[in-house]
Chains A and B, each alone.
Chain A
Amino acid sequence: MNGEDQATPKPRASRDQRASRQRLLWRFRILRLVRPTRVPDDGPTGDEDTVRRRLGPAFWLAVVWLSIMAFVAVFAPLLPIADPTKVAYSGPRESPSFDAWFGTDALGRDVFARTMYGARISLAVGGFAIVFGMAVGGALGIVAGYFRGRLDQAVGFLFFVLLSFPALVLAILITATLERSLLVVSLTIGILSVAPVGLLARASTLVYAEREFVAAARVLGARHGRIIVRELLPNVVIPMGALTLLGMAIAVVAEGSLAFLGLSVAGDDAISWGKMIVDGAGLRDLQNATHVAMFPVVVMFVTVLSLNFAGDRIRQYFDVKELAF
């Protein structure tokens, strides 16, 4: 109501948030100390317990970069960026200049505009693929880990087949047979991510299914579906979620690899970083106009690095709290 109240909300909120996070950390530490076999334990025991966990400034730098990329990807047509398919006046293979920041490519198209538009397909493929992997792999993994037995064996077999099948051959098979639309390309990479995600989901389900709250739910008469959705899913989602960004990084790279084989999304207006790199990777271009391939490479590299780095920090951050006990 008064001036003081209005002046303080921001620091106050953040202090509250910090306090609640600290409380959470502390509680989880307690959880880790309590073992099922009556262990009255005394106080903090290890170094890692007293070292404060932070995500760190580098993490936030990565997040900023990813946010910019995501923003550009979504709003590219609304932003003051040149038309990526239009041939610029300045001619082909122009070096970077004030007009064309990243120069132009072999057809005289603006590399900067193409790189920005490229984020659309690259990130869309990455995002869709990992969401698909999470949904399908996660569901299979949880179900397998919960029911065990035959079903587990069957799902496990499926995962191993997927893992042992040469990924590129599978990708070529699918993209060569079907049309190379955004959906098909994403789906291809998504299928490839099912097994790794599924194995993770299965592993953490096995851990949680052993916990007594699952037994308690069974004793109460809860059906399997309810146990999976109410008891297991909320717990398993956390370690899986932490891996989303890592998975997306892999998917973005995978799209690049497909592009190299000419198997990425078809069509001239479907621009992706992978395709741009291929375009600029001809011998002449590499010698005379390095920038054509280099800019998409750098942007893709920084994006993948950011995804990996942010994903890894998140994983560490949650690992300690959720998976340690």
Chain B
Amino acid sequence: MAGTGHAQLRDRDDVLLRVKDLVVQFPAGRKRVVHAVSAVTFDVVEGETLGIVGESGCGKSTVARAIIRLVDITGGEVLYEGRDLAGLEGEELRRVRPRLQMIFQDPISSLNPRRRVRDVIAEGLAVWGDDIGSWSRDRIDELMDAVGVEARYGARRPHEFSGGQCQRIGIARALALDPKVLICDEPVSALDVSIQAQILNLLQDMKRRYGLTVLFISHDLSVVKNVSDRIVVMYLGKVCEIGSTAEIYSHPAHPYTRALLASIPEPAPTVDVSEGDIGDELPSATDPPSGCRFHTRCPRATGICSEVEPVSEQVGGADHYVACHHPVPVEISAR
């Protein structure tokens, strides 16, 4: 899977976030490193929802955490409104933080069990109280109302709420500072099926209401399809395929994307179920395969795949980029 390359970057004025050649490595002892994210490039325009999809170990969460500077960036750029977040430290970094907020996977772990939910939601305002104008109780009430948690329960502690309610509280906390970018890291995967839809709808509503740009990370292809305008498919720290949601789902070109679509319990009609047979073994991220990182499991791999890393190229003339030596040709679009 390859790939590097910048073909997928768009030359538009409204690009809000541009991630270029992002590299994140973690020490793994004995001078070895985990190549969690390797030269990942993509951009997000204002008001867009970008979905990042992939299996565990593909680096999707690390990308999110690197953008928001919860993990250290080893190399590359994260340009937010033209400013490189990767180089910011200390107070400078702190000052941009309110612009980019995050919603976490585990709604219960992401709330401090010893604080009242109203204080949890107000934390951002309390931190910035002096710097960001005058905030009032109304703001908290409004937020609680917006996310569907009754304001009269504000004095309770997180353990008195269900998982879905806790996730709503987490959303309210993230929105309190009026961020531009909301990063959602698997926001519904810890929730019950019947609650997932509530939270997904809420995120859509909040996006519209507060004019958010959203980065949505998930392993669930159906969920990502539902929320995203554009999608990045990742494998083992690399980008495989980027494109508009409709393109990716109707003409998946990368063998890995196709394998994912063929593996879900009710496979997408655009792929053959047999394409999901790619073996169980994810190669080690401390010693990733040479060339295209997917070649060890790829049904279409040839000699070149283990030697040369593919560079992303546009396919089908649409908003669709693939980093693969042997992409599945995109047929003439039906529509």
Direct touching of A and B (C-beta under 8 Å): yes
- A interface vs B, CB < 8 Å? 23-24, 27-28, 30-31, 34, 36-38, 40, 211-213, 215-223, 226, 230-231, 234-235
Do residues B190 and A216 form an inter-chain contact, with CB atoms below 8 A? no
A231 to B112, Cβ gap below 8 A?
Answer: yes
* B192/A235 in contact, CB under 8 A: no
Q: Which of B98, B111, B115, B160 contacts A221 (CB 8 A)?
A: B98
Taking a contact as CB atoms closer than 8 A, the residue among B101, B120, B190 that contacts A38 in the complex is: B190
Question: With A31-B159, A222-B127 as given contacts, are A213 and B110 in contact (CB-CB < 8 Å)?
Answer: yes
For A215, the chain B residues whose CB sits under 8 A away are 70, 102, 104, 110
Pairs of residues from A and B, 7 with the lowest C-beta to C-beta distance, nearest first? A212-B110, A27-B159, A221-B97, A234-B114, A212-B104, A220-B124, A36-B106
User: Provided the pairs A234-B114, A235-B113 are in contact, do residues A219 and B190 lie with their beta carbons within 8 angstroms?
Assistant: no
Q: Could you pull out 10 A-B pairs where Cβ atoms are within 8 angstroms?
A: A31-B159, A34-B163, A211-B110, A212-B109, A215-B104, A216-B170, A216-B174, A220-B101, A230-B115, A234-B115
Interface residue from A31, A36, A217, A226 paired with B190 (Cβ < 8 Å)? A36
Contact flags B3-19 to A (C-beta < 8 A → 1, else 0): 00000000000000000
Q: A216 contacts which of B159, B173, B191 (Cβ < 8 Å)?
A: B173
User: What's the nearest-Cβ distance from chain A to residue B159, in Å?
Assistant: 4
**B102, A219: Cβ atoms closer than 8 Å:** yes
Interface string of B194-236 (1 = CB under 8 A from A): 0000000000000000000000000000000000000000000
Closest-CB distance, A130 to chain B (whole angstroms): 22
CB of A213 within 8 A of CB of B97, answer: no
Q: Confirm or deny: B324 has a beta carbon within 8 angstroms of a beta carbon on chain A.
A: no
Q: How close is A205's CB to chain B, nearest CB, in angstroms?
A: 14
In the complex, the answer to whether B190 meets A235 with C-beta atoms within 8 Å is no
- Min Cβ gap A40→B in Å is 6
B105 CB within 8 Å of chain A: yes
A216 touches B98 (CB 8 A): no
- Are B94's CB and A219's CB within 8 A? no
CB pair A221 B106 closer than 8 Å: no
CA distance A234 to B109 in the complex (A): 15
Nearest residue in A to B96 (C-beta to C-beta)?
A221
Write out the residue numbers on chain B whose beta carbons fall within 8 Å of the beta carbon of A34.
Answer: 106, 108, 163, 190
Given A31-B159, A36-B190, A219 and B108 contact (CB-CB distance below 8 Å) = no
Tell yes or no: B68 within 8 A of A by CB: yes
A31-B159, A34-B163, A215-B104 given as contacts; is B123 within 8 A of A220 (CB)? yes
A222 adjacent to B104 (CB under 8 Å): no
A286 to B120, CA, bound (A): 63
Majority secondary structure, A binding face: helix
**In the assembly, what is the distance between CA of A230 and CA of B101, in Å?**
19
Contact for B94 among A27, A213, A221, CB less than 8 A: A221
Set of chain A residues within 8 Å of B170, measured between Cβ atoms: 216
Given known contacts A212-B110, A230-B115, A235-B112, A220 and B192 CB-to-CB distance under 8 angstroms: no
Q: Compute how far the CA of A218 lies from the CA of B106 in the bound complex, rounded to whole angstroms.
A: 17
Chain A residues closer than 8 Å to B159, beta-carbon distance: 24, 27-28, 30-31
Pick the residue among B68, B106, B163 that contacts A219 (CB under 8 A).
B68
A15 CB to nearest chain B CB (Å): 19
B239 interface residue (CB < 8 Å to A): no
Closest to A215 in B: B70
- From known contacts A40-B192, A230-B115, infer whether A220 and B110 are also in contact, taking CB-CB under 8 Å: no
Determine which residue in A30, A34, A38, A217 has the highest number of CB atoms from chain B within 10 A of its CB, and name it.
A38
Residues of A within 8 A of B263 (CB): none
Known A-B contacts A221-B124, A230-B115; the reply to A216 vs B97 at CB < 8 A is: no
| Chain B residues within 8 Å of A30, by CB | 159
Q: Which of A38, A218, A221, A222 contacts B70 (CB 8 A)?
A: A218
A217 to B115, CA, bound (A): 13
Give the distance to chain B from A223, nearest Cβ to Cβ, in Å.
7
CB distance from A10 to the nearest CB of B (A): 26
Distance in angstroms between the alpha carbons of A218 and B100 in the assembled complex: 11
Q: What is the bound-complex CA distance between A222 and B101, given in angstroms?
A: 13
* Bound Cα distance A212, B190 (Å): 14
CB distance from A110 to the nearest CB of B (A): 49
**In the bound complex, CA of A34 to CA of B114 (Å):** 18
Residue of B95, B112, B120, B192 with highest tally of chain A CB at under 10 A: B112
Least CB distance, B173 to chain A, in whole angstroms: 7
Chain B residues within an 8 Å CB radius of A235: 112-114
Residues of B close to A217: CB separation below 8 A? 123
Nearest CB in chain B: distance from A51 CB, A: 20
Chain A's nearest CB lies how many Å from the CB of B26? 14
| CB of A178, distance to nearest CB on chain B (Å) | 40
Which residues of chain B are near A226, meaning CB under 8 Å? Answer: 127
The docked-state distance in angstroms from the alpha carbon of A30 to that of B158 is 12
The answer, yes or no, to whether B24 is at the interface (CB within 8 Å) is: no
Q: Is B298 an interface residue (CB 8 A)?
A: no
B239 to chain A, nearest CB (A): 24
- Least Cβ–Cβ distance between B186 and chain A, in angstroms: 8
